[in-house]
Structure 1
């Protein structure tokens, strides 16, 4: 029987580890009120995953986006952090990685300082938090930290995992349904993170036998 090296698992943040919709919804309403610009906050929170600037481009001209991103992030400190609860099974998923003798990291498109504030507020305590990376760009951080598994809710997360040659575990808790995630190339799709510890235990056994 082979021995398995210590595993490193990467996790996305929004709609994977945290439900950021309530806070983001409040931030878009506040941004609209501050700027006098219409923003459909209900629609915006159905498109979570890509970087903030991509959503802002639906509502503001290109030349205004940098300033709007700065203003949004200021508002986010007040309205976004404490409004976001942990997703079901999030803490248990990180604990399962630790129980397997591994490391858990967070790799997210979210502005890194705000991502760290979420993690601190919810006391999740991963080994590292890397922000400002989207889709294929996540592969660099995954490779740097030796992650062999990446868990996310968006087809962009699947692309990031595939680019890093990591096992893609998708959770159907975000804007992409199971069909979209599978078609994007996810190796496995879980209903949510409550199923992750059992999956990880089985995956670890398979890798040990290989």
Structure 2
């Protein structure tokens, strides 16, 4: 077996970016276009799960797919420019790179829109994999040989554990520290600003490891 540098996976919404303003605006436009009431204030308090799950709270089952298609169509013009990076996002990616590692983004968001966010903010991970939620995130984490996965939701913790990766949680999303620890997070940080110091203190634990199929 050969060894490879550390690969760290990151979630996107409420981990690297504060997508609440853009998503809020997109839900309001979707509501206007479809004539269907959506409580955008409520919806943005529970970001993380796939879009279809949230739309199922507002649309009958037979309309969810069409509503999702329209939402994704509206999204680039409405949501991308309204969405800032979260504190420490760029520095977290750079901390992985400075040690010769790779940073990937694994998200439940529609992959083309996830890439638009990162391009707009000038954040350049080594790979972006979308449309994966909770345990299914393990598919990409295993493929890329990620040993650490950083996310804000209990679903991210489950994805990390399913992949056999260390779960580093940040309390910047809808789940508080207690929920994240109860779900099995190995480490909980207040936000990504604390990640570079944590990584520097623990890098020797992950600096080299066995080659994965994609590594």
Partner-residue secondary structure (3-state), 2:140: helix
Where does residue 13 of structure 1 map in the other structure?
A: 12
Runs of 4+ in 1 over 2 A off after TM superposition: 205-209
Structure 1: distance between partners of 2:50 and 2:13: 11
Partner-residue secondary structure (3-state), 2:141: helix
Where does residue 36 of structure 2 map in the other structure?
A: 37
Structure 2: distance between partners of 1:124 and 1:37: 35
User: Is the contact between residue 133 and residue 155 of structure 2 (CA under 8 Å) also seen in structure 1?
Assistant: yes
Structure 1: distance between partners of 2:163 and 2:44: 28
Structure 2: distance between partners of 1:10 and 1:134: 13
Residue 87 of structure 1 deviates from its aligned partner by 0.4
Residue 207 of structure 1 deviates from its aligned partner by 4.4
Residue 206 of structure 1 deviates from its aligned partner by 3.9
Residues 141, 206 of structure 1: alpha-carbon distance in 2 compared, 3 angstrom cutoff? closer
Where does residue 213 of structure 2 map in the other structure?
A: none
Residue 203 of structure 1 deviates from its aligned partner by 1.3
TM-score, normalising length: structure 2? 0.94
Structure 1: distance between partners of 2:35 and 2:204: 56
Structure 1: distance between partners of 2:207 and 2:45: 39
1:74-111 superposed Cα distances (whole Å, 9 cap, x missing partner): 11111111111000000000000000110000000000
Residue 5 of structure 1 deviates from its aligned partner by 4.3
Structure 2: distance between partners of 1:132 and 1:203: 30
1:124 has 2:88 as partner: no
Count of residues paired in the alignment = 207
TM-score, normalising length: structure 1? 0.96
Structure 1: distance between partners of 2:200 and 2:5: 13
Gaps of 5+ in 2: 209-215
Where does residue 77 of structure 1 map in the other structure?
A: 76
Gaps of 5+ in 1: none
1:145-184 superposed Cα distances (whole Å, 9 cap, x missing partner): 0000000000000000000000000000000000000000
Partner-residue secondary structure (3-state), 1:105: strand
Where does residue 102 of structure 1 map in the other structure?
A: 101
Alignment of 1:16-165 (within 5 A): 16-165=15-164
Partner-residue secondary structure (3-state), 1:125: coil
